Amino acid sequence: MDERILRRLEIVQGDIVEEDVDGIVNAANSLLLGGGGVDGAIHRAAGPELLEECRGLGGCPTGEARITKGYRLRARHVIHTVGPVWSGGARGEAELLSSAYRSSLALAAKHGLRVVSFPAISTGVYRYPKDSAARIALRTTSDWLAASELPQKVRFVVFSPSDRQTYEEALKAIS
């Protein structure tokens, strides 16, 4: 992988709701009305205005993304994307997960977002295997960065030391 692309990728352990960036990505459900995990944490931190704006969006199909303001978050925007539920891998899950990342990156670029932070989409209650999801996330993002100036930096914000190790190993594997 090109060194210029590697400089634009970052893997950090932390809490995505604390990110002070142009945009954070929310691993949302198709209704965009909040839920558990990352989705619930983002909605709680952003405040009721986020839910109100999301109600007006009419949901979001799997593999697509929508953008809102960040409200009470330090991030200026929230990009809501719906990843696939893992069903063993034979139902197009890999392409849908890749599409969720591409759709999010396209919205970030369209809105001029320079720095965007992603969680590990679909790896929580949607049960996508973390190692496979990390490779898809990093490969899709590096391909996007090779062809686009925006975003200038993409941060993968993972929750645990083992998740960070998974992402670092995935990055080595695709480099």
Contact 5, 146 (CB under 8 A): yes
Clarify whether 39 is annotated catalytic.
yes
Length of the chain: 175
Q: Please state, in angstroms and rounded to a whole number, the distance separating the CA atoms of residues 122 and 67.
A: 18
115 beta partners: 153
List the catalytic residue out of 20, 39, 131, 143.
Answer: 39
User: Among the residues of 23-156, which ranges form H helices?
Assistant: 37-46, 48-55, 93-110, 130-147
9 beta partners: 154
Active site residues: 39
